[in-house]
């Protein structure tokens, strides 16, 4: 059905070429599709592993399209497919990627609005891809990325984020630590609370994270004065269950 609707393949065979475990229950997979996957930053793709044939789970690539065609996936072990991807899959294993889909997190390349990106957990992945998109054509745009975690040790992608911040003076990286007694005054609290301290009129706000973080976030943003048309939250299937 996907092939008939989109005029492209129903899935892309891919090979896992990298599998890192930066934190408990989290894996960063680098995969190379046999054919280039035509995705845009902020989109999501369904993923299937031979451990669970026919079952798919949605993930957003953590990177903008790369010259070598590789795709980086951030996975937290919460259900059958994700647990297999974290605990069982190894480099050399095959996986399958379905057609990319928009999930409400795309950035208009023609816009020049500054961005406030608010990430919780592996919801960081699509927002990091947006940072890479801006890096390809910054055009004076300022980006603030707030990354939420319980404690500093839970910031699983800190090395990549530090490299991005060092490379781009338009990027401001702000950790938001909800349960870390050593957090500084400007870093203490949940991601959205910390992010609202950095909101400036005119910014486009993007929020991605687990369902408890997203629940009520639109109302909080509206109450803080963010116009509805500047609020970007993911919709299904990114936050959906396995299919």
| pLDDT tens digits, 197-212 | 999 999 999 999 999 9
The answer to the question of residue 20 being in a domain is yes
- Does pLDDT of 46 surpass 50? yes
Rounded-to-integer distance, Cα 26 and Cα 57, Å = 15
Examine the domain organization and report whether 168 and 213 are in the same domain: yes
SS (H, E, C) 15-53: EEEEEEEEECCEEEEEEEECCCCCCCCCCEEEEEECCCC
Examine the domain organization and report whether 91 and 144 are in the same domain: no
Examine the domain organization and report whether 124 and 220 are in the same domain: yes
Rounded-to-integer distance, Cα 230 and Cα 205, Å = 6
Task: Please give the residue range of the domain that contains residue 194.
Answer: 115-232
The answer to the question of residue 103 being in a domain is no
Examine the domain organization and report whether 147 and 73 are in the same domain: no
Please give the structure tokens belonging to residue 26. Answer: 């989290």
Q: What is the pTM of this model?
A: 0.93
Residue 1 pLDDT = 56
**Mean pLDDT for the chain?**
91
What kind and span of H or E run contains 129? helix 124-136
- Does pLDDT of 91 surpass 80? yes
* DSSP-derived pairing of the beta strands 115-120 and 143-149: parallel
SS (H, E, C) 172-215: EEEEEECCCCCCCHHHECCHHHHHHCCCCCCCEEEEECCHHHHC
Residue 243 pLDDT = 45
pLDDT digit string (tens) for 158-196? 999 999 999 999 999 999 998 888 778 778 889 999 999
Question: Residue 239 — very low, low, confident or very high, per pLDDT cuts 50/70/90?
Answer: very low
pLDDT digit string (tens) for 25-42? 999 999 999 999 999 999
The answer to the question of residue 102 being in a domain is no
Examine the domain organization and report whether 88 and 182 are in the same domain: no
Question: Residue 77 — very low, low, confident or very high, per pLDDT cuts 50/70/90?
Answer: very high
| CA dihedral sign, ordered 167, 113, 38, 55 | positive
* CATH code for the domain of 24: 2.40.30.10
How many other C-beta atoms can be found within 10 angstroms of the C-beta atom of residue 65? 19
């Amino acid at each position: 059905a996907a092939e008939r609707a989109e005029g492209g393949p129903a899935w892309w065979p891919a090979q896992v070429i990298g599998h890192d475990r930066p934190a408990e229950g989290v894996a960063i997979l680098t995969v190379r599709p046999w054919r280039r996957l035509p995705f845009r930053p902020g989109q999501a793709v369904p993923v299937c592993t031979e451990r669970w044939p026919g079952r798919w789970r949605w993930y957003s690539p953590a990177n903008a399209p790369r010259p070598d065609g590789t795709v980086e996936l951030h996975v937290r072990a919460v259900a059958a497919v994700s647990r297999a991807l974290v605990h069982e899959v190894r480099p050399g294993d095959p996986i399958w990627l379905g057609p990319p889909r928009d999930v409400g997190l795309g950035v208009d390349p023609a816009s020049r609005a500054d961005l406030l990106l608010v990430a919780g957990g592996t919801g960081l992945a699509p927002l990091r891809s947006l940072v890479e998109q801006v890096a390809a054509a910054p055009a004076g745009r300022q980006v603030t990325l707030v990354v939420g975690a319980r404690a500093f040790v839970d910031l699983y992608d800190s090395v990549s984020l530090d490299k991005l911040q060092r490379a781009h003076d338009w990027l401001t990286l702000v950790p938001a630590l909800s349960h870390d007694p050593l957090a500084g005054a400007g870093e203490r609290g949940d991601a959205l609370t910390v992010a609202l301290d950095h909101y400036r009129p005119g910014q486009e706000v993007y929020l991605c994270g687990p369902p408890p973080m997203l629940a009520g976030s639109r109302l909080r943003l509206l109450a803080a004065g963010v116009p509805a048309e500047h609020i970007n939250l993911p919709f299904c299937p990114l936050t959906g269950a396995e299919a």
